[in-house]
Amino acid sequence: MQDKPLHERLHKLRRALPSDEPLQHVFRARHAALLASRRAEEARQIDAAWIEACPAYGEARRASADADLDIVESHGLQLALPRATSTTGFGAKLREGWLPWRDILSQRELGVGTVMIDIGANIGTTSIARVILGDVQRVYAIEPEPANFACLVRNIVANGLQGFVLPDASAISSRTGQGMLRQASGLGAHRLLDDKAVRRGRPDSFPVATWTLDDWVAHHGIDVPAVSLIKVDTQGWESHVLAGAARLLSAHHPAWVIEVSPRHLHAAGTPLAQLIEQCQAHFTHAIDLRGEGSKARVVPVSQLGEALGYLDSPTDATYTNLLLYHQS
């Protein structure tokens, strides 16, 4: 009997998503096993090389910023949060023991592989959880906001994951150089500003180094054939990320997870229609990971505009995540 097409299997998986309890049950044991494995020695060597390649990582390793952090325990992990954002929103969820179990489950059939690139890694909950569970062997975690990056580095080190999760304090954009990052009050709401916003000026913004994803991957010598999953959660900057990733997008084997928020896309000067056109140019199929009922089906990207019609208002706070792939 011939196997069902991948998109049919993914649709079935999404409709009958299993409980996340098994992931929680094995999480601590897998963490301990990873740290005791032979791969831990290799990871230490990789980490030493990464410190040399990313000066910001070395500086964060040497810094002592615990006075500005809150530490919470979640499923055996010690997680640092910026104190100013640790009691509301995302920070409050982490205090209650939340980890991205459901996201991992919904992305798992295409998200398992060797290397993940986590763009907008925040404090590292996704990167850390995926490595410990064994979905990927290594994660490159990119986060430009300084307080989040300090927590990301501390969380890697405190949980013994040096060399398994490799952080960099950069912003991924449509051009390599410098941009302005708006610092929000929430833990996950920081975002780059478009040229119009930069010209108007904002007192809550500051300069950050920017790279196109193609340039960043080339600069760090990332083994593109080993990359299986690329996650993009950049508060509206997703279209800019794709615009600077033509070479990586031409490699059809990685799956991409992209957050889609019309309100944030509009603020970045890239309407939803533009992001849809980019997806149609580089992928063949999309899965709406947050949609319900008919919205949750796998669709050819030619139908993506219709499938995301419920998100078409730039003033609406709704959003979704798309799992995109190329049927090679």
91-95 average pLDDT score: 84
pLDDT at res. 18: 75
pLDDT at res. 67: 67
- 186-222: pLDDT as tens digits: 777 788 988 777 777 777 889 999 999 999 999 999 9
- 154-164: pLDDT as tens digits: 999 999 999 99
48-72 average pLDDT score: 89
Instruction: Give me the numbers of helices (H) and strands (E) for the chain, helices first please.
Output: 15, 14
- Amino acid identity at 321: N
Are 162 and 43 a contacting pair, CB within 8 Å?
A: yes
pLDDT at res. 140: 98
Residue 1 has pLDDT above 50, yes or no: no
What is the distance, to the nearest Å, from the Cα of residue 80 to the centroid of all Cα atoms in its chain? 18
Element (H, E) at 47: helix 39-53
Say if 202 falls within a structural domain. Answer: yes
- pTM: predicted TM-score of the whole model, two decimal places: 0.92
Say if 13 falls within a structural domain. Answer: yes
Residue 297 has pLDDT above 90, yes or no: no
Nearest CA to 237 among 268, 282, 258? 268
Q: Residue 222: which domain range?
A: 6-325
Q: Specify the CATH number for the domain of residue 26.
A: 3.40.50.150
- 305-317: pLDDT as tens digits: 999 988 866 666 6
Say if 234 falls within a structural domain. Answer: yes
The structural domain count of the chain equals 1
11-27 average pLDDT score: 76
Share of the chain above pLDDT 70, in %: 89
62-91 average pLDDT score: 82
Residue 293 has pLDDT above 90, yes or no: no
HEC letters along 176-244:
CEEEEEECCCCCCCCEECCHHHHHHCCCCEEEEEEEEHHHHHHHCCCCHHHEEEEEECCCCCHHHHHHC
Say if 94 falls within a structural domain. Answer: yes
Are 24 and 111 a contacting pair, CB within 8 Å?
A: no
| Strands annotated E in 111-176 | 115-119, 138-142, 165-168, 171-173
Say if 26 falls within a structural domain. Answer: yes
pLDDT at res. 197: 72
Say if 213 falls within a structural domain. Answer: yes
Nearest CA to 237 among 192, 185, 282? 192
pLDDT at res. 204: 82
- What's the rounded Cα separation, in Å, for the pair 194 and 192? 7
Are 314 and 262 a contacting pair, CB within 8 Å?
A: yes
Least confident residue range of 96-105, 161-170, 269-278: 96-105
Could you tell me which residues come within 8 angstroms of residue 216 by beta carbon, excluding any fewer than 6 positions away?
142, 168, 170, 172
Residue 28 has pLDDT above 80, yes or no: yes
For the chain, the residue count is 328
pLDDT at res. 185: 72
- What's the rounded Cα separation, in Å, for the pair 328 and 325? 9
- What's the rounded Cα separation, in Å, for the pair 28 and 133? 9
Selected residue with higher pLDDT from 149 and 109: 149
pLDDT at res. 231: 98
- Among 19-23, 85-89, 142-146, name the most confident range: 142-146
Nearest CA to 198 among 269, 275, 121, 120? 269
Residue 87 has pLDDT above 80, yes or no: no
pLDDT at res. 65: 62
Residue 292 has pLDDT above 70, yes or no: no
Say if 1 falls within a structural domain. Answer: no
